[in-house]
A and B are shown apart, each in its own frame.
Chain A
Amino acid sequence: MGREVAESCVDSLLTEMVSTYCHRFYANKPELAARRIEAIGYQVGHQLSERFVFRYTMERPRFTDHLEAIKFICKDFWSELFKKQIDNLKTNHRGTFVLQDNRFRWLTRMSVDPQNESQDNSADGENKAAQATSMHLYFPCGIIRGALSNLGIPCAVSADISNLPACSFVVRIKA
């Protein structure tokens, strides 16, 4: 087992990083905040994939197609980060893959930033909460895009949370 830190370190850091970009730097420009958060995720995914490829695939045959690389993300890569695999992988066989985590840890653990928390149940409050959640999701989307890009698969990644606490990551491979 490699080095570990308390999970609350990662939770606190992510919450604060997202909050810094959403509230302090780009309070009125959510699309810019989203791009920065995604970029941070991209770098992390790129670097993690290099590390995990070394750890897991050195003694295995090289990936020969996209599906093998995506399975690596679903199994070894996800397990390193969340101690569980992706629960369901679907594809339309035309370059779109859907990776579903039935209980995505960062959604169940991460507290929405207090500055953005709304005590009332107004539509505005719910709206803000939904926006904060989607801001958090740019980070794992960036991680997946960075990892796949480093494996030679340029793609776009988005998140779908219509079935909370499940979270689906939609990967669209660029032709």
Chain B
Amino acid sequence: MPTAGPRSGDAIFASVERVNAELFTLTYGATVRQLLTDLEEVEEVNKQLDQMGYNIGIRLIDEFLAKSNISRCVDFKETADVIAKVGLKMFLGVNATVTNWDAEGTCCSIVLEDNPLVDFVELPDTCQGLHYCNILSGVIRGALEMVSMKTEVTWLRDMLRGDDSFELQVKLLKQVPEEYPYKDDE
């Protein structure tokens, strides 16, 4: 059977089951607030959100690969593009761009101008150290780990802190060669 090429983020988003974004936005917001109440320390909440994102990312990658029709064997540069153009679009319905590549091609920025996680959100003064969208960086880190890329994902700019966009820096730490389940001699 001939395989169709990769699908665009817009086409996938148009075809998947979608729901009211307010439910998603408010559920995430209420979760963050509950975590702040239970964990008290903003830094602990950042860690927890990242962990939750990581767990989601390692599960969401299969759905992503299946729906996007993208083969797993892509280099880091292509991968970053795919996250921005396809991944974020097909799940969150937002557009993102990739910029600020370093010379080695192992570090770049994903820039979002819009993000449904932060609709209606205004950070209280007591939460200035909170990376409100930390779940998102966790998702990217988790998903990339499942395609053998160990990364470090950090927020460089955050609209909730007064910046003009969201900027996520994705740094490739180690690319583990794909492990095939069947070796030649077996």
Q: Is any CB of A less than 8 Å from a CB of B in the complex? A: yes
Q: Which residues of A contact B (CB under 8 A)?
A: 2-10, 12-14, 16-17, 19-20, 25, 36, 39-41, 43-44, 47-48, 51, 80-81, 83, 114
Taking a contact as CB atoms under 8 Å apart, the answer to whether B27 and A3 are in contact is no
| Candidates B22, B23, B90; contact of A6 at CB < 8 Å | B90
Taking a contact as CB atoms under 8 Å apart, the answer to whether B27 and A44 are in contact is yes
With contacts A10-B27, A13-B56, A20-B48 taken as known, whether A48 is within 8 angstroms of B33 at the C-beta atoms is no
Is B91 among interface residues, defined by CB-CB distance under 8 A? Answer: yes
How far does the alpha carbon of A3 sit from the alpha carbon of B22 in the complex, in Å? 8
Task: Give 19 CB contacts A-B under 8 Å.
Answer: A5-B19, A6-B19, A6-B90, A8-B60, A8-B63, A9-B19, A9-B92, A10-B19, A10-B27, A12-B56, A13-B31, A14-B27, A17-B31, A40-B27, A40-B31, A43-B29, A51-B22, A80-B23, A83-B19
How far does the alpha carbon of A16 sit from the alpha carbon of B59 in the complex, in Å? 11
Taking a contact as CB atoms under 8 Å apart, the answer to whether A17 and B22 are in contact is no
How far does the alpha carbon of A19 sit from the alpha carbon of B27 in the complex, in Å? 15
Is B21 among interface residues, defined by CB-CB distance under 8 A? Answer: yes
With contacts A12-B60, A14-B27, A47-B26 taken as known, whether A7 is within 8 angstroms of B38 at the C-beta atoms is no
**Quick one: closest B residue to A55, CB to CB?**
B22
With contacts A36-B38, A40-B34, A81-B19 taken as known, whether A4 is within 8 angstroms of B26 at the C-beta atoms is no
Taking a contact as CB atoms under 8 Å apart, the answer to whether A36 and B16 are in contact is no
How far does the alpha carbon of A140 sit from the alpha carbon of B23 in the complex, in Å? 11
Is B13 among interface residues, defined by CB-CB distance under 8 A? Answer: yes
- Main secondary structure, interface of A, reads helix
How far does the alpha carbon of A16 sit from the alpha carbon of B139 in the complex, in Å? 12
B85 vs chain A, min Cβ distance (A): 15
**Quick one: closest A residue to B56, CB to CB?**
A12
Taking a contact as CB atoms under 8 Å apart, the answer to whether A39 and B19 are in contact is no
Is B17 among interface residues, defined by CB-CB distance under 8 A? Answer: yes
By a CB distance below 8 angstroms, the chain A residues around B38 are: 25, 36
How far does the alpha carbon of A14 sit from the alpha carbon of B55 in the complex, in Å? 12
Is B71 among interface residues, defined by CB-CB distance under 8 A? Answer: no
Contacts beyond the supplied A6-B92, A8-B63, A12-B59: 20 A-B pairs with Cβ under 8 Å: A4-B18, A4-B21, A5-B24, A6-B13, A6-B18, A8-B16, A9-B24, A10-B24, A13-B135, A16-B55, A17-B31, A20-B52, A40-B30, A43-B29, A44-B26, A44-B30, A47-B26, A51-B22, A81-B20, A81-B23
How far does the alpha carbon of A12 sit from the alpha carbon of B138 in the complex, in Å? 13
Point out which of A13, A25, A81 has the most chain B C-beta atoms below 10 A from its C-beta: A13
B64 vs chain A, min Cβ distance (A): 9
How far does the alpha carbon of A40 sit from the alpha carbon of B26 in the complex, in Å? 9
Taking a contact as CB atoms under 8 Å apart, the answer to whether A4 and B93 are in contact is yes
By a CB distance below 8 angstroms, the chain B residues around A81 are: 19-20, 23
